[in-house]
Amino acid sequence: MQLVTAGLLALVLLGATIAHLVKLFRKINGPDKPPGPTQLPYLGRIHDLPIEYMWLKFKEWADLYGGNGFYRTQMLGAEFLIVTDEKVAEDLLVKRAKHNSDRPNIQSLFDSKSSNGSMEYLPLMGRNQYWARQRKLTHSYITEATNRRYNGVMYHEAKRWMARLIENPDDFQFSLEDMASKVMCQLTWDDSTLSEYCTKSAWGLLTQMSPAGPITNVLTPLWHLPLFMNPWKKAEHKRHDEQQEWWMARFLETRSKMANGEMRTCWTKQYIEKTALKTSISGDAEASCLLGMLALVGIFTVAGPLSYWLVTMVHHPDWQAAVQREIDEQCGGQPPTLEDAPKLPILRACIKETMRWKPNVPTGVAHETEVDDVYAGYFIPKGTRILPLDWAFLRNPVKYPDPETFRPERWLEPGWPTFQAPLTQFPTLKGMTSFGWGQRQCLGMSLTQDELIVACGSLAWCFNLKPKRDPTTGMELPVPLDKSNSLLIIKPDPFQMAFEPRSEERKLEALRLWKESDAKDRSDRAEFLQTAAAKRGEKAPAVAPIGNLPLGMPVISPNAVVSTTLACSFILLGNAITQSFMGVPALLVDFPHPSTPQHALAARHLGRQWPVFWQVGNVFFRPISTLGIFGYAYASYAAYKKAHSSSDWKFLAVSAVCHLITVIHSAVNMQPLNAKIDALSRDGVGKMGIKVDVSLAEHYARRWIKLNLVRVVMPAVAGSIALSQTVKGRLN
């Protein structure tokens, strides 16, 4: 009977589940929904969306369901609107940018949107106050650098790269990324030696944020497993903390060099010296992240297109030859500069066509809707992820006839839909769909275009890019066109190719140009440091700018002071806990009653042992507490002087007051009681002639324990407050 009941119950549950799934299936595939592939309850279409080359599947669905320029799908309950037509993208992401410019949360990053105030990753932030102020500052820095022609950094690094390719051509993929990284490291910190780690950090972040990265970006519930059984979260903790520490170290190193007058022009110096005095950026932690992220983004936005330039030129030697002829005719036998760009339309056309033919952000970067909306009669709920599918935009046969073929003439010859005049201005990379849409359009378009003109132009000036031959068979090694990683920003899989100097004279000229540029750079740096040293020798500065502090503040990092003072607080706390809960109670174990003969002996013994406590306090721990007063007071004053951190100084002032209370309490309440207990060692007669009642020996000691609780609580409060401020990174 029980078996029958259980069977019936199972059938009922099964029927109810099937009914629920059928109802849900009909709901999510109803006629009111935008067109798209059939969705399965809870799964959507995650079961047949490949992690690798995801954009190809999206394009396949676009051809089936994207007749209106968009279609809809789901992934584990997340709603997606895949946009396949530029007009729809313009409508939703530009004209309605006010409501469609948020970013979706990336599960495998901690607070990727900065919803909780992390303020770390500008391109991934939600549309909030941190995003607005960081975007404004980033735009101003890049614009100024563009107007200054990047202080010649791009030319210097392109010459270095040509020399490296001559000396070690097989290492071209590393040296390519290193060239892009060195440019950004010099612009950000004026230190090209940071490039190798910066590149590693950039690709680490890109992997973590990509669907093809950790599986937790696709199977999002796995991210919420407990830490002990969550290797993905452990790995991200390590990557994240290391990256943040590195960014902050670079920031503080720049500040230290500035204090000695040894820091040349760079974005970080510009921030500390000028911007920090008037910006709404919250402090050093946010500033170091903003600048570090700026350096990282400039690496993979250049490395991807530049890698595909190599692939493209190997497969299209006719266009490579056309670019070489143009440079030879227009640049006087030298590598092209940005001043030559208006005279080099073929070079610019080939760069732009490479980015169209092999886009390095083929899926586009998702926006997220902030309100419910209706478009073309279809309801789009709040929280929908709008994905502008760049692969579809750039293969639109109406705008780009023969889209699968590399055809730079589409940008150069009248009659093509994409042709624009004059050719001194067009073609240009600015405004390409690959750089995003509306308020989320990439701020580095000019930087990317300029670096590609310099790098690709230098390659064409110096080398013939060819397939490499197998040394055994003599056969050409293939350079694949369809092999790449599947990260959010892609680059070709490793391949082999040959860099053949166009002539011995050109080879020697390239090496000479690098030697000359390197010697000048070393000379300029040495001269700058000599000048700084001479100035210090003439008059050593007593003051120097520290973060947002004005001139006149001592050159001592508030973070360093607070870190030291924190140790004082917790040393005091540990000592007081030991005294109140271990040391003194141990002396009072089985303490005899005053009416017993043993009491007088026990009282004298207590008095003899007592100086161990109060002498240590007078000689050692009272100075530590006094140091805490001055340390926290200094840090509070430093924070007060920062215009944008007026709240922080109050917390640190409380910490200073806590230490002051401890010192006063020790002098006023604890010291007289110490004297009484000390008098017990002399049968109740103190050193100053005071007399105490020996029968109250245990009472004195237990009262001392209670009064000492102030020395437990005050350092604990002071240290906790200061620790919270330090963790926030808002002291410098």
State the binding site for heme: 442
Q: Tell me which DSSP letter residue 102 carries.
A: B
Element (H, E) at 711: helix 710-728
**Strands 78-83 and 385-388, bridge-based pairing:** parallel
Residue matched to tokens 């590598």: 335
CA distances for 203 relative to 118, 259, 487, 624, angstroms: 20, 33, 10, 46
Given its phi and psi angles, is residue 366 left (phi above 0), alpha (psi -120 to 50 degrees) or beta? beta
> What is d(CA 343, CA 341) in angstroms, rounded to the nearest whole number?
5
- Inter-helix orientation angle 284-315/129-147, to 10°: 60
CA distances for 568 relative to 100, 127, 502, angstroms: 51, 42, 68
* DSSP, residue by residue, 3-15: HHHHHHHHHHHHH
**Both structure tokens of 605:** 């013994």
Burial of 260 (0-12, 13-18, 19+ CB in 10 A): middle
Residue 297, SS3 per DSSP: helix
**Is the Cα dihedral 123, 124, 127, 132 positive or negative?**
negative
**Strands 373-375 and 70-75, bridge-based pairing:** unpaired
> What is d(CA 456, CA 302) in angstroms, rounded to the nearest whole number?
11
Residue matched to tokens 């324990």: 705
**Is the Cα dihedral 243, 246, 248, 251 positive or negative?**
negative
- Residues annotated as binding site? 442
| Phi, psi of 152, deg, nearest 5 | 80, 5
Cis ω for the linkage preceding 427 (within 30 of 0) = yes
Closest C-alpha to 479, from 491, 466, 462? 466
> What is d(CA 100, CA 102) in angstroms, rounded to the nearest whole number?
6
Cβ neighbours, 10 Å, residue 224: 10
* DSSP, residue by residue, 450-517: HHHHHHHHHHHHHEEEEEPBPTTT-PBPP--SS-B--SSS--BPP--EEEEES-HHHHHHHHHHHHHH
- Inter-helix orientation angle 504-538/445-462, to 10°: 130
List, in order, residues 6 or more apart from 45 with CB less than 8 Å away: 37, 39, 73, 74, 75
Torsion on CA atoms 640, 646, 652, 656, rounded to nearest 10 = 50
| Phi, psi of 102, deg, nearest 5 | -80, 170
> What is d(CA 82, CA 70) in angstroms, rounded to the nearest whole number?
5
Cis ω for the linkage preceding 501 (within 30 of 0) = no
| Phi, psi of 684, deg, nearest 5 | 95, 5
Q: Which long-range contacts (CB under 8 A, 24 or more apart) does 124-127 make?
A: 124/209, 126/102, 126/368, 127/101, 127/102, 127/103, 127/370, 127/439
